[in-house]
Chains A and B, each alone.
Chain A
Amino acid sequence: MVNLIIDDKQVTAPKTATIYEAAKLNGIDIPILCHDKKLKPFGACRMCLVEVEQMKGRQIPACTTPATEGMIIRTSTPDIVKARKMVLELLLLNHPLDCPVCDKSGDCDLQNLTYEYKVNSNRFTDEKFSHEIDYNNPLIERDMNRCVLCGKCARICDEIVSYGALTFIDRGIETKIGCEFDDGLNCEFCGSCIAVCPVGSLLARPFKHKARFWAMTKHPSVCGYCGTGCNLTLGVKDNKVLTTIYDENQGFHNGQLCVRGRFGYQFINSAKRLTTPLIKKNGKLTEATWDEALELVASRLKGGNAVAALATPRLTNEELALFKKLLVVNVGTKNFDHAAGYAHAALTEGFASSFGVSASSATILDIQKSNLLIVIKTDAYETHPVVGFEVNMAVKNLGTKLSIISDKRGKLSKLPDAKTLVHFPGSEIAVLNAIAKTILDEKLADGSAAAIAGFAELEKSLAGFSAETVAGLSGISAAEIKKLAGEYATADKALIIFPVGQAYAGHAADLASAAANLAILTGKYGKEGCGVLCLSEKNNSQGAVDMGFYPQDGGLNALQILDACTDGSVKTLLIAGENPLSSYPNHNKVKAALEAVDFLVVSELFMTETAAMADVVLPVCSFAEKEGTFTSTDRRVQYFKAAIRKNIKIKSDFELISDLISRLGGSAPLSPAAQFSEIAASTPGYEGLSHVSLRKEGAFAAVSMAPVFVVPQVAATIAAEAGKLALVTGSALYHSGTLSQYGEGPMHVCPENYIELSRTDASANKIVEGEVVTVSSASGSIKLKAKVTPRMPAGVVFSPYHFSDAPINTIWNGSPVTSVTVSK
């Protein structure tokens, strides 16, 4: 700590603090334009000039000058005020004063400072800029005429997003922010640049001229897409969510969002939302009252195990717990599941057997505290972009080492000194086993390992996994495997990260156990910066596991439930928010099951393909219209309340389930808060939590581990058949599940399904970018747009799973690797 005097006040600050930070910590505001707490100091705008007595009263920038012992600083002398006024005059010289039509007005740093410093005239005159406004993309408008060249957009795009779309171009008075060759913006559209822009140069186009900033109410919420658990601020006017607002003090991510979080909110107020219950009469869904619909549903909830349910892990903890209660207590069935079953197996089977707990042994906060990150599949960036930002910052700012084990390259592979070990699709477990084997052979295992249960069995099972054998199997050289094993075992702190989800059939229990074995072997768990972090797919995937919404005691899992529908042993199927027709493997089989089941009830926001097949469709709320808690992938429980009032004709899943419980003669808690008290009392790790205690910020549910070694089953590597390409499925950056199809933002930039192939395969088949090709597997064929990228290895093609229009499950049966042909 250093002691210094700011504005005649004796203060202390950490040794690393700049003058600006020291002042801020002690409640003294210094005006800034180019500084952001997440970015490195830059010192471009000269707004933060202060006087330091020891420097003979010279004016120095507070944001770049370290605070040192004994400094005497004055932040607002008449000279300083004069200098700041002059800075503003010079900025306003070129800045167009079009505030009445600028969406930034009211939230604009330049406007606020101009007001604060009373700059009501300008001693200088100059021409305004006449740069062309970039309207080339549907999401981000770039008006360089308003730019003050603070460089925040270019810096955040480099330092945190690591995309580097924007940079300073030209020099001197002609300097401006632009893209390569002065083109229109063409990036991943996370909108981080919009968030940090202090003026109206970068604006969200979907929000253009929708509302004045001050006319909106700001509602903190939790993002409803992936499992990262980002906090959002929703801008609401006239009961409509109009935009997401940046708040740099929100969440572990300091307000950073990805394209889905920032631009994917439109589904909330979509005109396509269902507004009334529907009952199938004479083969057609017709409008009905809630009473009719629920009475009909309640009458079919009989016969114990003949009733089954699939719920989406987008529901709140309260809803999932209540739903489970309805099924177990009031209906008496054991058959319920979520996320196609295998998408949560890494937690419920893998970690449950390896660590004795169905949760990850690390949190997202450990990423920046680690020395070595091993990411299995580069898709971790696409599935959880904000976790990807954490990896970017760790590697770029802190020098954390990054090794990637993946079947393709990706954005993470481009990070400085990132090592990507590209393996044949489907061989990741063998690679992890080879690393474990090397650690054992080279005596790098932790002293504690041999005493842990299962050690002998593991050692025996690894006999066939020498680095040399696996090198042939995986395509990664033995030397590289051994090097990574050595690095992992000797690293002070190391963290393994892998994504799971419905598109990652290979990332299930065995992969989790194989990764857990490495952590247990080297003692890298239960400590800061260590562990295995499984990135679960949906916003409440971890919550669904914690609530126990998966088959136990012999209940059927999701895929078995569908089989049981086909063979007639399940008569009534309740689907809450899942869209198996698009997102579960094997389209035809799912369709046959949903057609075969006697009575299908779907509660949904939209008329999905699955809902269209239902006998009863019940319209429900989105996260913005209800209260509850979500548990993020690292078990952070976060409370959110409704941002807008729901349409009076729809119900939340909570109300709907409560109603069904009372119709079946049971009694349900009156409110989500009451339900949460029950959860807190019965769920390990949730003890002591309540809606009230979570109101201010989320809390981590404790994870207690009991590690054992589990021998993972290694399926023979599935190579594509001769002459065919290996199709791997996954997530696209712009989407999450099938919900993002109803968010206009993601659909603007990634509107349809595609197939990514390597340059080698493209030129061998004479396929060019954007061409429509036919992709065929043993189970069917679809037409997809070709995307030729340098990241795919020859022989491997990739396609995401989000799209109902050309669902990849028509050619994909849930195998980690599918042999396909691609033809024109």
Chain B
Amino acid sequence: MSDVVAQQATEQEPVIDLSIADAVIDRYIDIPGNLMPVLQGAQDEYGYIPRVVADHIAERLNVYPSQIYGVLTFYSQFHLKPRGKFIIRVCVGTACHVQGATRIVDTFFEKLHIGHAETSPDLRYTFEKVACLGACGMAPLAMVNDSTYGAMTVQKVEDIVADYNQRPMK
């Protein structure tokens, strides 16, 4: 009966190319305990785990789809919805908080028109508050993908948003 579900899901998300997932699965297929690396690899490729990909992985690895969903929801590293090209993370840990992280967060909300753990409709930005980025000396701290921005100010938020608005999506 789960085949019916797979069929419906295909109709909703017609653009997913499963051959990309197949390439990831082929890399790990013979390794015991391959579910995590396959899911991580698939997320690297698609940016998130679409349902058809989860179902496809379930079929190829012979793991229950429910079990895959359990893993996907247990670890916060996995995402079930499309994510922005640029992931903005602002630290709200103790050190950043006393240095005024709240204002930095609010300014991002204003500029990006999205809230915590949300993605902009054009898939450019995803914003996240995080507990600690491990660089308290640079507080208040923000990260965009792998770039780090220390000693953040409201002005710097505007600069960052202006900068990333210019960058190409592809």
Contacts and interface: CB of A to CB of B under 8 A. Distances in A.
Interface of A: 158, 163-171, 178-183, 186-188, 414, 416, 768-770, 787-790
Contacts of A769: 3-4, 7
A788 B7 contact: yes
Given A167-B67, A180-B58, 7 more contacts: A168-B74, A179-B66, A179-B69, A180-B2, A769-B4, A789-B3, A790-B59
Contacts of B51: 181
Contacts of B68: 180
B1 interface: yes
Shortest Cβ-Cβ A-B pairs, 4 listed: A164-B64, A180-B65, A167-B70, A167-B66
A166 B65 CA distance: 9
Given A167-B69, A169-B69, A180-B69, A158 B7 contact: no
Nearest to A176: B73
B1 A187 contact: yes
B43 to A, nearest CB: 16
Contacts of A768: 7
A436 B65 CA distance: 39
Contacts of A180: 2, 5, 54-55, 58, 64-66, 68-69
B166 interface: no
Contacts of B80: 181
B19 interface: no
Contact of B66 (A166, A770, A788): A166
B1 A186 contact: yes
A169 to B, nearest CB: 5
A324 B67 CA distance: 54
B62 interface: yes
Interface in B54-93: 54-55, 58-59, 62, 64-70, 73-74, 80
A733 to B, nearest CB: 10
B12 to A, nearest CB: 11
Contacts of A166: 66
A163 B1 CA distance: 11
A181 B69 contact: yes
B35 to A, nearest CB: 13
Contacts of B62: 414, 416
Contacts of A178: 66, 69
B73 A169 contact: yes
A790 B6 CA distance: 11
Contact of B5 (A167, A183, A188, A770): A183
A416 B32 CA distance: 12
Nearest to B62: A414
12 contacts: A164-B65, A165-B66, A166-B66, A167-B64, A167-B70, A168-B70, A169-B69, A178-B66, A179-B66, A180-B55, A186-B1, A770-B4
Contacts of B58: 180
A720 to B, nearest CB: 24
B59 to A, nearest CB: 7
A164 B67 contact: yes
Interface string B1-39: 111110100000000000000000000000000000000
Contacts of B3: 769, 787-790
A70 B5 CA distance: 55
A789 B7 CA distance: 10
Nearest to A750: B1
Nearest to A187: B1
A730 B15 CA distance: 37
Q: Which of A163, A165, A181 has the most CB of B within 10 A?
A: A181
Given A158-B64, A180-B54, A414-B62, A169 B1 contact: no
A32 B34 CA distance: 35
B80 to A, nearest CB: 8
A670 B74 CA distance: 66
B70 A169 contact: yes
